[in-house]
A and B are shown apart, each in its own frame.
Chain A
Amino acid sequence: SYELTQPPSVSVSPGQTASITCSGDKLGDKYTYWYQQKPGQSPVLVIYQDTNRPSGIPERFSGSNSGNTATLTISGTQAMDETDYYCQAWDSSSVVFGGGTKLTVL
């Protein structure tokens, strides 16, 4: 079965750029989606189809996908961005999530 691999944790200083990766076999041939989940809340879609931001998502969130790796980039990271992030892709008719990355802003 298809697998997506994320680093368990990423740290960034306030105002700097955070990059969260998601790796999978030929992931660049698929669309990748990214979700933000704050404690006790439901996930929120922050990037769809690799690079697109839903309405209401700040411009500091961006995405890319090439080869075997998709990347969620948060520019000018703020304290409110400290939380869990999940990547997601479709494999045939099934959905796969990455294991999640905890972003720490310190």
Chain B
Amino acid sequence: QVQLVESGGGVVQPGRSLRLSCAASGFTFSSYGMHWVRQAPGKGLEWVAVIWFDGSNKYYADSVKGRFTISRDNSKNTLYLQMNSLRTEDTAVYYCAKEGNDVLTGLNTGFDYWGQGTLVTVSS
């Protein structure tokens, strides 16, 4: 079965860095786009970044552009999020999510699997 397991969260001071990982299993990781989505305490979902199946394209939310970098290692079935210059407003649970697609049409079918999330707390 599909599993996404995030790790790397913790407490970090403003201005410092942190790298999150998402270990994937149960599907052909190298065939799917992958995303990071975050949720601040008591708030809604906020999309962070996407990386295409082969790593050829990456896109970011304006709120993290220039500070966060999404990457993947298809040989290790692992997704990463490098977070630099962290701010207190980056405090959130960070989820990795798999992008589904219809095998017949190739159309996006939404985020069909999510990890359990990892909490990042930015505080002095």
A residues with CB within 8 A of B: 1, 31, 33, 35, 37, 42-45, 48-49, 52, 54, 84, 86, 88, 90, 93-100
* B45 x A97 contact (CB < 8 A): yes
* A93 x B57 contact (CB < 8 A): yes
Residue in chain B with minimal CB distance to A52? B109
* B47 x A96 contact (CB < 8 A): yes
With A1-B62, A93-B50: A49-B107 Cβ-Cβ less than 8 Å: yes
Using a Cβ–Cβ cut-off of 8 Å, how many residues does chain B contribute to the interface with A? 23
Residue in chain A with minimal CB distance to B60? A94
* B84 beta carbon closer than 8 Å to chain A: no
* B50 x A42 contact (CB < 8 A): no
Residues of A within 8 A of B61 (CB): 94
Residue in chain B with minimal CB distance to A101? B44
Residue in chain B with minimal CB distance to A48? B110
With A45-B110, A45-B111, A94-B61: A86-B117 Cβ-Cβ less than 8 Å: no
A54–B46 Cα distance when bound, in Å, is 22
* B85 beta carbon closer than 8 Å to chain A: no
Identify which of residues 21-62 in chain B touch chain A, using a CB-to-CB cut-off of 8 Å. 35, 37, 44-47, 50, 57, 59, 61-62
Residue in chain B with minimal CB distance to A42? B114
25 pairs, A vs B, C-beta closer than 8 Å: A35-B110, A42-B114, A42-B115, A43-B45, A43-B111, A44-B114, A45-B111, A48-B100, A48-B109, A49-B107, A49-B108, A84-B44, A86-B44, A88-B45, A88-B110, A88-B111, A93-B50, A94-B61, A95-B35, A95-B47, A95-B50, A97-B44, A98-B44, A99-B44, A100-B45
